[in-house]
Structure 1
Amino acid sequence: MKKRGLIINTVYFLFIVMFTYAATSKWMMFNVFVSQINKQPFNDKLTPLLVWGIPIAEITVSLMMMLDKTRVLALKIATAMMILFTGYIILIKLNLFGKIPCACGGAITELSWTQHLFFNLFFVFAGVLAIFLIKKNRYSTE
Structure 2
Amino acid sequence: MKKEFILYPIVGLLSLLFMYAAIAKTMDYGFFVSEMSKSPLLMKYDKQWLAPGVLGVEFLIVALLSFAGTRQSGLFLSFFVMLLFTLYLSTLYFFYTNIPCSCGGILGKMSYPTHIIFNAVFTLLAAAGVMLYKTNNAK
Query: What's the TM-score, normalizing by structure 2?
Result: 0.92
Shift of 1:45: 4.6
Match of 2:73 in 1: 73
Residues 39-85 of structure 1 deviation map (CA, whole Å, 9 limit, x = unaligned)? 11223552112211111110011011111111111110011000011
RMSD (Å) for aligned C-alpha atoms? 1.3
Shift of 1:93: 2.1
Q: How many residues align?
A: 138
- In 1, the alpha carbon distance for the partners of 2:113 and 2:60 equals 28
Match of 1:102 in 2: 101
After TM superposition, list the pairs within 5 Å mapping 1:109-128 onto structure 2.
Answer: 109-128=108-127
* Structure 2 alignment gaps of length 5 or more: none
Identity of aligned residues (%): 29
Match of 2:135 in 1: 136
CA contact (8 A) 2:93 2:99 kept: no
Which runs of 4 or more aligned residues in structure 1 lie more than 3 Å from their structure 2 counterparts after TM superposition? none
Tell me the SS of whatever aligns to 2:52. Answer: helix
CA contact (8 A) 1:89 1:113 kept: yes
| AA of the residue aligned to 1:131 | V
Match of 2:46 in 1: 46
* Structure 1 alignment gaps of length 5 or more: none
CA contact (8 A) 2:35 2:102 kept: yes
- In 2, the alpha carbon distance for the partners of 1:75 and 1:50 equals 22
- In 1, the alpha carbon distance for the partners of 2:45 and 2:87 equals 22
CA contact (8 A) 1:26 1:33 kept: yes
